[in-house]
């Protein structure tokens, strides 16, 4: 029998974070300017299993939680290449920081795109805070009651949940004690947003990689949320320009590109001094030179592919166009960037020999990149199933109800 998972107090969000700046005119410059600070606190983050306050303060103060706050509420309509470069910069400094801040940004964007007018008002026109976290898997339950829904559920992987004022859980709607169904017999699934004080975080984020993301499981103890906090799945975009039509695939792609770049830089630095007994220095070995160049080429190609795919989608949305074909293109670009990061992670670790094996009191950046990359590959948004779905679109055999 499994032991009960310890819960932890869901502490209120401090005022400085609730009222964090909502504008970041040059997120790439801002992220690059924080590289040293983020890196210097990354060992502490691994020990804590969440982002240190110094990092959260710096990120929020620079406006980097606000990259998807809409212009009408003080934010900017950033181009996808700006988002890619900014997230990649933070991920280069520390994989956990890049991942958690990326997740928070895209949930905040989703609150704006898909939320009702009432929800958008409460998120962006009050002092409750605008940062969001959550999970889109139907692990909860909702029953219609007067004025709203009675919701409950147990959800996983709330990345950045310590910083979130708002949470999202996906729920199955019940009616008369049974799951409500559509005309085709499928369960009716809803998106249920709620405020932080209604959520119970579980103290169970103990993992080999992305350790500082604080991706706790979280519970919705049974409570009532207003109708305005519940929406349909798949969501219907209600507002937002072309940037807001871009899904979290961009975030995963950018994270992978940034951490892969860091791995190559770490192994390059190591190669200058790495020498096994009776062998040449690693940097002078022909096989290493060849393999390093090939992985540099893979990363450069993946970077360009992502920038082009997401920019094309952005341009089409700006023209009022969209299609499954173009979405499959950017989803595949994101999947491939994660695959490239995996290959680079494995190359770097194997090339490092026993240097990559040693923990060095938690200060081994090359090893951390290896662990973080492998942790990131497990996300369902960029796994082999998504690649297969993209393949069905490209082959002309996609299911009529395929969502990408």
* pLDDT > 90? residue 115: yes
Please check the confidence at residue 11 and state whether its pLDDT lies above 50: yes
Asked whether residue 91 falls in the same domain as residue 119, the answer is yes
Question: Per the structure block, which two tokens stand in for 7?
Answer: 């819960």
Of 209, 232, 255, which one is at a domain's C-terminal end? 232
Kindly state whether residue 218 falls inside one of the protein's structural domains: yes
Q: Are residues 112 and 23 located together in one domain of the fold?
A: yes
List Cβ neighbours of 127 (8 Å cut-off, separation of 6 or more). Answer: 18, 19
Which of 67, 95, 124 is the last residue before a domain boundary?
124
92 and 170 belong to one structural domain: no
Whether residue 114 sits in one domain with residue 205: no
Backbone phi and psi for residue 7, each to the nearest 5 degrees, phi listed first: -95, 170
Which residue reads 């869901």 in tokens?
Answer: 10
Give the mean pLDDT of 134-140: 84
Q: What is the CATH number of the domain that holds 201?
A: 2.40.110.10
pLDDT digits (tens, 9 = 90+) for 247-291: 899 999 999 999 999 999 999 999 999 987 778 999 999 999 999
275 part of a folded domain: yes
Residues 65 and 185 in one domain: no
Tens of pLDDT, residue by residue over 202-258, are 999 999 999 999 999 999 999 999 999 999 988 888 888 898 888 899 999 999 999
Q: Is residue 404 part of a domain?
A: no
The answer to whether residues 325 and 252 belong to one domain is yes
Return d(Cα 155, Cα 100) in angstroms, integer: 17
For 181-248, give the secondary structure using H, E and C: ECCCCCECEEEEEEEHHHCEEECCCCCCCCHHHCCEEEEEEEEEEEHHHEEECCCCCCCCCHHHHCCC
- Residues 219, 293 within the same domain: no
What is the rounded distance in angstroms from the CA atom of residue 261 to the CA atom of residue 74? 32
Per-residue model confidence (pLDDT) at position 377: 96
| Average confidence (pLDDT) over 348-368 | 94
Specify if 45 maps to a domain.
Answer: yes
User: Distance (Å, rounded) from C-alpha 31 to C-alpha 70?
Assistant: 19
Q: How far is CA 98 from CA 154, 212, 329, 357, 370, in A?
A: 26, 10, 24, 24, 15
Instruction: Please count the structural domains in the chain.
Output: 3
Nearest 5°: phi and psi at 260?
Answer: -65, -40
Choice among 160-164, 275-279, 363-367 with the minimum mean pLDDT:
275-279
Q: pLDDT at residue 95 above 90?
A: yes
Q: What is the pTM of this model?
A: 0.95
Burial (CB < 10 A; 0-12, 13-18, 19+), residue 115, is buried
pLDDT score, position 378: 93
Residues 145 and 266 in one domain: no
Q: What is the pLDDT of residue 105?
A: 96
pLDDT (0 to 100) of residue 2: 52
Cis peptide before 29 (omega within 30 of 0): no
Q: Which two tokens stand for residue 391?
A: 């393949």
pLDDT at residue 1 tops 50: no
Helix axes 95-114, 249-271, angle to 10 degrees: 170
pLDDT tens string 317-327:
999 888 899 99
Quickly state the pLDDT bin for 49 (edges 50, 70, 90).
Answer: very high
> Do 359 and 284 share a domain, yes or no?
yes
Residues paired with residue 220 on neighbouring β-strands, in sequence order: 153
295-344 tens-digit pLDDT: 999 999 999 999 999 999 999 999 988 889 999 999 999 999 999 999 99
Which whole number is the average pLDDT over 31-54?
A: 97
Q: Which residue has the tokens 């799945």?
A: 233
Strands 178-179 and 166-175: antiparallel
Residue 37 lies in a domain: yes
Round to whole Å and give the CA distance between 217 and 214.
9
Spatial distance between the Cα atoms of 65 and 17, rounded to a whole number of angstroms: 10
Does one domain contain both 142 and 196? yes
Mean pLDDT throughout 7-20? Answer: 90
Whether 327 and 252 map to the same domain: the answer is: yes
Cβ atoms of residues 155 and 133 within 8 Å = no
Q: Which whole-number Å values give the CA distances from 278 to 132, 281, 284, in the listed order?
A: 55, 10, 13
CATH at residue 275: 1.20.140.10
For the residues 48-60, what does the mean pLDDT come to? 97
Report the pLDDT value the prediction gives residue 255, as an integer from 0 to 100: 98
Of 97 and 360, the one with more pLDDT: 97
pLDDT digits (tens, 9 = 90+) for 348-357: 999 999 999 9
Does residue 197 lie in a domain region? yes
The two three-digit tokens of residue 284, written as one number: 């002078």
Domain boundary among 186, 203, 232: 232
Find the radius of gyration of the CA atoms of the chain.
22
Asked if the structure places residue 288 within a domain, the reply is yes
Residue 26, in any domain of the structure:
yes
> 95, 30, 12, 59: which is closest to 366 by C-alpha?
95
In which domain, by residue range, is 349 found?
246-395
57-90 pLDDT per residue, tens:
999 999 999 999 999 999 988 999 999 999 999 9
* Mean pLDDT (whole number) for 174-190: 91
């Amino acid at each position: 029998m499994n032991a009960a998972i310890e819960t932890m107090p869901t502490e209120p969000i401090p005022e400085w974070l609730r009222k964090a700046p909502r504008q970041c005119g040059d997120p790439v410059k801002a992220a690059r300017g924080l590289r040293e600070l983020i890196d210097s606190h990354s060992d502490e983050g691994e020990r804590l299993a969440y982002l240190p306050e110094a990092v959260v303060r710096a990120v929020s103060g620079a406006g980097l939680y606000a990259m998807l706050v809409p212009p009408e509420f003080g934010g900017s309509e950033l181009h996808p290449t700006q988002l890619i470069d900014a997230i990649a910069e933070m991920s280069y400094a520390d994989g956990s920081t890049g991942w958690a801040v990326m997740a928070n940004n895209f949930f905040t964007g989703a609150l704006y795109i898909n939320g009702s007018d009432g929800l958008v008002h409460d998120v962006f026109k009050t002092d409750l805070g605008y940062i969001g976290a959550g999970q889109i898997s139907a692990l909860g339950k909702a029953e219609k009651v007067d004025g709203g829904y009675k919701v409950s559920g147990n959800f996983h992987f709330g990345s950045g949940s310590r910083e979130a004022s708002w949470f999202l859980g996906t729920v199955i709607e019940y009616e008369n004690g049974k799951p409500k169904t559509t005309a085709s017999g499928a369960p009716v699934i809803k998106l249920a947003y709620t405020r932080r004080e209604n959520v119970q975080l579980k103290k169970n984020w103990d993992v080999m990689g992305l350790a500082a993301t604080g991706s706790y499981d979280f519970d919705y103890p049974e409570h009532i949320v207003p109708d305005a906090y519940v929406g349909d799945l798949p969501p219907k975009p209600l507002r937002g320009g072309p940037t807001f039509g871009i899904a979290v695939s961009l975030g995963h792609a950018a994270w992978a590109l940034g951490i892969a770049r860091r791995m190559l830089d770490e192994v390059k630095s190591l190669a200058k001094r790495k020498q096994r007994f009776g062998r040449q220095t690693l940097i002078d070995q022909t096989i290493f030179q060849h393999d390093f160049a090939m992985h540099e080429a893979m990363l450069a190609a993946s970077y360009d592919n992502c920038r082009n795919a997401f920019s094309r989608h952005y341009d089409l949305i700006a023209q009022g166009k969209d299609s499954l074909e173009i979405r499959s293109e950017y989803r595949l670009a994101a999947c491939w960037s994660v695959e490239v990061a995996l290959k680079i992670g494995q190359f770097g670790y194997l090339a490092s020999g026993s240097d990559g094996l040693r923990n060095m009191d938690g200060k081994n950046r090359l090893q951390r990149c290896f662990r973080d990359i492998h942790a990131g590959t497990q996300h369902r948004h960029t796994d082999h199933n998504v690649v297969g779905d993209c393949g069905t679109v490209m082959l002309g055999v996609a299911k009529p109800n395929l969502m990408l």
